[in-house]
Amino acid sequence: MANLLFDLPVPAVPVEGENGLFPVRRIYCVGRNYQAHRAEMGGADDRDPPFFFSKPADAVVPPGGRVAYPSRTSNLHHEVELVAAIGQAGQDVPVERALDLVFGYGVGVDLTRRDLQAGARERREPWEASKGFDASAPVSALRRWSGPAPQGRIRLSVNGQVRQDATVADMIWNVAEVVSEASKLWRLEPGDLIFTGTPEGVGPLVGGDKVACEVEGVASLEFEIV
């Protein structure tokens, strides 16, 4: 095998209470998975199958990192989400076995260049640049987990002011259904992260903002926009 030209670092996030790191292979994200968020984004009151978009693995910002305000936007938004980390491979996995693939959970923020997203939608163009940019996926340490998925409170505050506050149980498609649907589109592998959707209350961030978020009983995360 030929030598690689570059020795590139592997994106990874810590595991709570352990020395090892969880290497990130791919990041999948679910859109509009809370009814109230669908409504605030102009969506219909329905239960369409979940749709997915991706972020590059190196968009991950581990805990303690700072996030530079990205270029080409004047409307950067926060979207707090429960993150499911995949620890076992699977393809076309039925819902009743989907949680067997989950290594654990964390909390993450899907940062979005909302103005770029809106413009792309109007032109019916892909909105990859609005979601998959550098440092667009801050993620907490992961907590190993077995059994039913978390159902508790999910919230985000900016400079101490609560912006998003809901419960994971409000998701339209639950974690098992999301993992099952994702496995029908891709073969899931250890190292994959799935952002499972955000509740209502998404809003803008500016330089100097301090973001704090949590999924109750799972994980918390803080970072600053610089």
Say if 1 falls within a structural domain.
no
Say if 3 falls within a structural domain.
no
Q: Write the CATH number for 92.
A: 3.90.850.10
Lowest-pLDDT range of 6-10, 96-100, 165-169:
6-10
Look up the pTM and report it: 0.95
Hey, what are 156's tokens? 């985000």
pLDDT in tens, 7-55: 888 999 999 999 999 999 999 999 889 887 566 655 556 667 788 999 9
Say if 117 falls within a structural domain.
yes
Backbone dihedral angles phi then psi of residue 95, each to the nearest 5 degrees: -55, -40
Say if 214 falls within a structural domain.
yes
Q: Starting at the edge strand that comes first in sequence, how are the strands of the sheet with 80-86 ordered?
A: 51-55, 27-31, 193-195, 80-86, 102-109, 143-144
Say if 38 falls within a structural domain.
yes
pLDDT in tens, 131-153: 999 999 999 999 999 999 999 99
Number of structural domains in the chain = 1
**pLDDT value of residue 10:** 92
Say if 8 falls within a structural domain.
no
Distances (CA, A) of 140 to 7, 51, 200, 215: 26, 24, 21, 10
Domain range for 199: 18-224
